[in-house]
Structure 1
Amino acid sequence: MNVGLTLRAAKGCWRVNLSQQCAHGSIGLFVPPSPPVDPEKVKELQRFVSLSKKLLVMTGAGVSTESGIPDYRSEKVGLYARTDRRPIQHRDFVQRAPVRQRYWARNFVGWPRFSSHQPNPAHWALSSWERLGKLYWLVTQNVDALHTKAGSQRLTELHGCMHRVLCLACGEQTPRGVLQERFEALNPTWRAEAHGLAPDGDVFLTEEQVQSFRVPPCARCGGPLKPDVVFFGDTVNPDKVDFVHRRVKEADSLLVVGSSLQVFVGHPLWEPLRGSRLAVSSCISYLCRLLLRQVYSGYRFILTAREKKLPIAILNIGPTRSDHLACLKLDSRCGELLPLIDPQ
């Protein structure tokens, strides 16, 4: 699964050259194997959707893998399975300029491809459900803007969106494409070769490649810039969480699409405790804060739906944290199954 990219400047124009494997085969590279669609399961999902009047759908990375965007957790094909690399940590990004430099260099190389990804049949199906009045609200954990590209409007991007950039000092928000132009102007002779795509729009570079990359500050106040997404170890905006809980309580059913709903146990966020001499109470306090931060991967919304006695269906290849709470579980490709459902 080696995917090669080369970035170079030629006559003032930046180009990303993708290997043939990446350009033509990446859509299937990051989707785990699944059994053929079971006609009986299709009928069950059709019945579930038909009975819903105010359906809330929550999507995860399993929707976007069919558009060629890798995820973290998928068996054999996710980032954790393919490499020993782990996602960037919020605290490291905020506190360390070299970490921001490395991140933005990687993101600069990966951005042309990441931003060019297009919706797949699952995104288009959910958008059509909204237009037809079946889908009451859509909550996505993805940061790729593919639901927006497909036309979804009744949408909450729980973890933000990579297509926006935020200043950590003044809060100014700008389009990511504008920042790409500033990167190009600051780094006219910078070159890099990368191998491997990561889930959040970046690629893998060596430390030597990164050292000469220049990162512009906020054009308004000079502060550091960050993509408008929730990095690991950060918290989702409480107002946004409350908003989604209200939408769940207003719904009459909940469909999970392409999400394992897992807490990231074993993630580098646990590293501060490794070899630590902290008191037991301090360790417990840290772990509680960690779980509260990570639990909003979506599981808490499932619990809210359960409390309201809403029927829950899950479409995801592989097990999820909430399978025991669902009245229907399907192991199929999202883009293969959702277009088969008539929302009317």
Structure 2
Amino acid sequence: MTSIEPQALDPDAIDRAAALLRGRRTAVLTGAGISTDSGIPAYRGAGAPPRVSPMTIQTYLSDEAARRRYWMGGHLGYRRFASPDPNGGHRALAALEHNGDVTGVITQNVDGLHLRAGSRRVVELHGTMHRVRCLDCGQVFDRRAISAQIDELNPWIAVPENVVLNPDGDVTPESADGFVIPPCTVCGGMLKPEVVYFGEFVPTGRFRLSEALVHGSDALLVAGTSLTVNSGIRVIERARRRGMPLVIVNHEPTRADRWADAVVSGGTTPVLTGIARALGAL
């Protein structure tokens, strides 16, 4: 296995990483680390905000107070992170796809930045924060429309003094006591952001799309994920069964480093940009 340290990101080192991908149709798996340069904090790793516990689907469905707190915190976060710009890492992958080097992107992210960067074939494993679905009738809504309803139903949250945050960035239970979650405008049912929560499975059809992308490729490039979530490991397992070369780009060690043919320790923006240049995509 070739290991490339951050300080070794010279043209020769980039070429060694790119050599494994050159001439191969490459599928890409990305995680939160690719979006940090766009101002979206990673959930894990160095620099990530401390978190008490994630929202599980069981808690979301059964605990109304937790659901209010989740929606209030999610609404405040969405207003902040709804429109960041794609960064150089996103753009490098889009360029590689347009150049014929990349077959598509499988992402664990819900921010939609790969699509905004110009990637055409994107499998959003964990869904998207830009849509909301009714759990009763299945109607899908644009998140911006739901956000407008939330602002109308909860005008008081526009006053900073009315919102108190925990150290993990979540709102306190007291702050969310009076928060009103809009119901489905079609049937009055419960709304949920169209993202996969802890305790939920990636929809079968969506994972099959990721499998099809891997099966139609000759190599796998992993960028910006520690692979803590099992959905990412499942993608790598599919690639390993096919004997595909594996290149990993991440700031920190991952669960799959021992299987990789090359590990590049560094930021996704400079590394992916360097790979794209070495392959003639930029």
**Alignment TM-score, normalising by the size of structure 1:** 0.75
Written as runs of structure 1 = structure 2, the 5 A alignment for 1:107-256 is 107-190=74-157, 191=159, 192-195=162-165, 203-256=169-222
What residue ranges of structure 2 are gaps of 5+ in the alignment?
A: none
Contact 1:70 1:197 in 2 (8 A): no
Contact 1:110 1:197 in 2 (8 A): no
Matched residue, 1:65: 36
Structure 1 residues 165-192: Cα deviation after superposition (integer angstroms, max 9, x where no partner): 1111111111100001101111223443
Contact 1:142 1:161 in 2 (8 A): yes
Q: CA deviation at 1:329?
A: 0.4
| 2:7 counterpart (13, 32, 36) | 36
Contact 1:57 1:257 in 2 (8 A): yes
| RCO comparison, higher one (Cα < 8 Å, 6+) | 2
Give the counterpart letter for 2:211 in structure 1: H
Matched residue, 2:71: 104
**Alignment TM-score, normalising by the size of structure 2:** 0.90
What SS does the corresponding residue of 1:58 show, helix, strand or coil?
strand
Structure 1 residues 62-105: Cα deviation after superposition (integer angstroms, max 9, x where no partner): 10112111122203x123xxx24221111100122222111111
| 2:265 counterpart (319, 331, 334) | 331
Matched residue, 1:301: 235
Looking at structure 2, the residues matched to 197 and 226 of structure 1 have their Cα atoms a distance apart, in angstroms, of 25
Residues 304 and 189 from structure 1, CA distance in 2 versus in 1: closer, same or farther, beyond 3 angstroms?
closer
Matched residue, 1:317: 251
What residue ranges of structure 1 are gaps of 5+ in the alignment?
A: 1-33, 264-294
Give the counterpart letter for 2:57 in structure 1: H
Matched residue, 1:284: none
Give the counterpart letter for 1:78 in structure 2: A
Residues 37 and 86 from structure 1, CA distance in 2 versus in 1: closer, same or farther, beyond 3 angstroms?
farther
Residues 38 and 189 from structure 1, CA distance in 2 versus in 1: closer, same or farther, beyond 3 angstroms?
closer
Give the counterpart letter for 2:48 in structure 1: G
What SS does the corresponding residue of 2:236 show, helix, strand or coil?
helix
Moved beyond 4 Å, runs of 4+? 194-198
- Root mean square deviation of aligned Cα: 1.8
What SS does the corresponding residue of 2:22 show, helix, strand or coil?
helix
Give the counterpart letter for 1:45 in structure 2: A
Looking at structure 2, the residues matched to 213 and 89 of structure 1 have their Cα atoms a distance apart, in angstroms, of 20
Looking at structure 2, the residues matched to 180 and 41 of structure 1 have their Cα atoms a distance apart, in angstroms, of 46
